[in-house]
């Protein structure tokens, strides 16, 4: 055997020895990615109509920057040197994946090719086709606090730049909704010296109030007009609400709670907002209503009973009770799990589908674990047929069923205020995987 051949064998062996760890590492990564993608399809969390990333595989170079940059869990994964969307339901619209991609292969879109999402048609300043009427926040397709605040800021700065003729009884802007978008709009309006009012059909906080207690909310660096940067990256619900209350108190901004907007008319160059607190004339209106609108009802006998609620705030009040939670989204799952951990509380979760495609994947996994441990009963392919003082009746896959009951929480989302928008003359459009403007 020649020395040249021996040298060739040695070099080949060294190369193979160097390559084996790389190949094994890549094989393990691909195996985990395949398992994650399979899990997402099994749970039904791989496709959502809300904001989520779309990957152009023709452009993707598999660098993994999008996977590393995403602050949420398992939204994106790299498989065979291409990025793929796994648990799309986990995406909340940070947009970091899109910004860090060096080749522009990631785009945040709303809707899918087969499932459309209806949102108002808006300009780059978030003004509708009705001049002077703006839509910001969740109702415009954005669910992240940072984006909602950015939209509100852009909208109010735009309307503040328009010529103003002050009327004695006419506002410069009426802000409808007191979630992050509405409160940001109020701060910008005050900073610009506008005459404004803020009305809220519920209570201050908007969608934040629908989070269970101690829920973490991701907030990237955000600058509020006249206030500065919000001092949080991850924050629990309670201190976030306390922060907003402190800002409003220091700035002397009043939120008129329990006031619902019923309809809007336009006459003599201004809006006339009909509310439960009376007529409010205003030259501009910013709708920061959120997509929930009013809680969705089941429309079943007994839903008017006092034991029925549409929000869970303090699970400890239901210790030792027999509780039914209706819904299959993240809010319903979180409520069911919070109640299941209370002493002597029995929980039945009623979901109209077999899968929990509208909930976050970690929540689904924890719920299924509690089901296996006997802490939560899950009725799948089920619907409530009647609510009685001492029980709840169901239809479970076509079979009647009944459970003793003390309290019912109906957490099936809300009715988006599209009827109000259409009555105002706002054009709606259905997005089928369409990019959307963000901050």
Domain ranges of the chain: 3-110, 118-293+417-435, 308-413
Three-state DSSP at 351 gives coil
pLDDT of res. 358: 76
C-alpha torsion 166→182→223→97, nearest 10: -130
Q: Mean pLDDT throughout 73-85?
A: 88
Written out in words, the top-level CATH class of the domain with range 3-110 is alpha beta
Q: Domain 308-413: give its CATH architecture.
A: 3-Layer(bba) Sandwich (3.50)
For residues 154 and 158, give the distance between their C-alpha atoms in angstroms, rounded to a whole number.
Answer: 6
Quick check: 439 pLDDT over 60? no
Quick check: 216 pLDDT over 60? no
Q: Mean pLDDT throughout 275-296?
A: 86
Quick check: 438 pLDDT over 60? no
Q: Mean pLDDT throughout 272-277?
A: 93
The overall average pLDDT reported for the chain is 85
Quick check: 436 pLDDT over 70? no
Contact partners, residue 184, CB within 8 Å, separation at least 6 = 148, 149, 152, 153, 224, 225
For residues 383 and 290, give the distance between their C-alpha atoms in angstroms, rounded to a whole number.
Answer: 26
Three-state DSSP at 73 gives coil
pLDDT band, very low/low/confident/very high, at 385 (cuts 50, 70, 90): very high
Tokens of 45: 């969390």
| 205-to-52, 155, 412 alpha-carbon distances in Å | 25, 20, 20
More confident position, 411 or 148: 411
- pTM for this prediction: 0.71
Phi and psi at residue 306, to the nearest 5°: -70, -15
Tokens of 224: 């509020």
C-alpha torsion 216→220→221→223, nearest 10: -80
For residues 114 and 166, give the distance between their C-alpha atoms in angstroms, rounded to a whole number.
Answer: 48
Q: What would the DSSP string read from start to end of 300-331? A: -TTTTSTTEES----GGGGTT-EEEEE--SHH
Three-state DSSP at 97 gives helix
Q: What would the DSSP string read from start to end of 247-278? A: HHHHHT--EEET--EEEEEEETTEEEEEETTE
Strand order in the sheet with 322-326: 308-309, 407-410, 322-326, 346-350, 377-379
pLDDT of res. 71: 76
pLDDT of res. 225: 78
Tokens of 390: 């001492």
pLDDT of res. 38: 85
Q: How many CB atoms lie within 10 A of CB 420?
A: 19
Q: Mean pLDDT throughout 358-381?
A: 92
Contact 109, 436 (CB under 8 A): yes
* 3-state helix/strand/coil string of 176-214: ECCCHHHHHHHHHHHHCCCCEEEEECCCCCHHHHHCCCC
For residues 281 and 201, give the distance between their C-alpha atoms in angstroms, rounded to a whole number.
Answer: 18
Residue environment code for 43-58, b if the CB has 16+ CB neighbours within 10 A, otherwise e: bbbbbbbbbbbbbeee
Contact partners, residue 6, CB within 8 Å, separation at least 6 = none
Choice among 85-99, 187-201, 298-312 with the minimum mean pLDDT: 85-99
Three-state DSSP at 10 gives helix
pLDDT of res. 326: 97
Cross-strand partners of 234: 218
For residues 253 and 402, give the distance between their C-alpha atoms in angstroms, rounded to a whole number.
Answer: 49
pLDDT of res. 371: 96
Q: Do domains 118-293+417-435 and 308-413 have the same CATH topology?
A: yes
- CATH 3.50.50.60 describes domain 118-293+417-435: yes
pLDDT of res. 235: 67
Percent of the chain with pLDDT over 70: 88
């Amino acid at each position: 055997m020649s020395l040249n051949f021996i040298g060739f064998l040695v070099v080949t062996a060294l190369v193979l020895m160097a390559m084996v760890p790389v190949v094994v590492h890549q094989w393990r990564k691909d195996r985990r990615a395949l398992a994650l993608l399979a899990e997402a399809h099994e749970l039904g969390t791989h496709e959502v109509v809300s904001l989520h990333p779309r990957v152009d595989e023709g452009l993707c170079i598999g660098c993994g920057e999008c996977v590393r940059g995403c602050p949420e869990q398992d939204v994106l994964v790299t498989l065979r040197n291409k990025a793929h969307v796994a648990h799309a339901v986990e995406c909340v619209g940070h947009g970091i994946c899109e910004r860090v991609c060096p080749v522009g292969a990631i785009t945040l879109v709303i809707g899918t090719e087969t499932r459309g999402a209806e949102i108002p048609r808006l300009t780059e300043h978030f003004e509708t086709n009705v001049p002077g009427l703006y839509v910001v926040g969740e109702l415009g397709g954005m669910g992240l606090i940072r984006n909602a605040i950015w939209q509100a800021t852009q909208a109010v700065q735009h309307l503040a730049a328009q010529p103003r003729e002050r009327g004695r009884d006419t506002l410069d802007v009426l802000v409808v909704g007191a979630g992050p978008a509405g409160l940001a709009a109020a701060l910008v309006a005050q900073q610009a010296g506008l005459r404004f009012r803020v009305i809220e059909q519920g209570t201050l906080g908007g969608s934040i109030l629908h989070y269970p207690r101690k829920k973490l909310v991701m907030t990237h660096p955000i600058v509020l007009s006249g206030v500065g940067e919000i001092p949080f990256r991850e924050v629990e619900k309670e201190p976030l609400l306390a922060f907003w209350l402190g800002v409003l108190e220091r700035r002397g901004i009043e939120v008129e709670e329990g006031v619902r907007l019923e309809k809007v008319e336009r006459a003599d160059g201004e809006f006339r907002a009909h509310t439960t607190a009376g007529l409010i004339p205003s030259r501009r209106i910013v709708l920061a209503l959120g997509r929930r609108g009013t809680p969705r009802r089941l429309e079943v006998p007994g839903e008017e009973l006092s034991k029925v609620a549409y929000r869970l705030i303090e699970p400890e009040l239901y210790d030792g009770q027999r509780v039914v939670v209706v819904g299959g989204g993240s809010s319903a799952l979180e409520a069911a799990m919070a109640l299941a951990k209370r002493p002597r509380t029995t929980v039945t979760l009623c979901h109209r589908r077999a899968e929990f495609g509208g909930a976050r994947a970690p929540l689904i996994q924890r719920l299924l674990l509690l089901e296996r441990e006997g802490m939560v009963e899950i009725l799948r392919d089920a619907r409530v047929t009647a609510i009685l003082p001492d029980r709840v009746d169901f239809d479970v896959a076509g079979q009647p069923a009944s459970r003793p009951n003390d309290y019912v929480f109906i957490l099936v989302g809300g009715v988006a205020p599209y009827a109000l928008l259409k009555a105002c003359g706002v054009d709606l459009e259905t997005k089928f995987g369409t990019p959307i403007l963000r901050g």
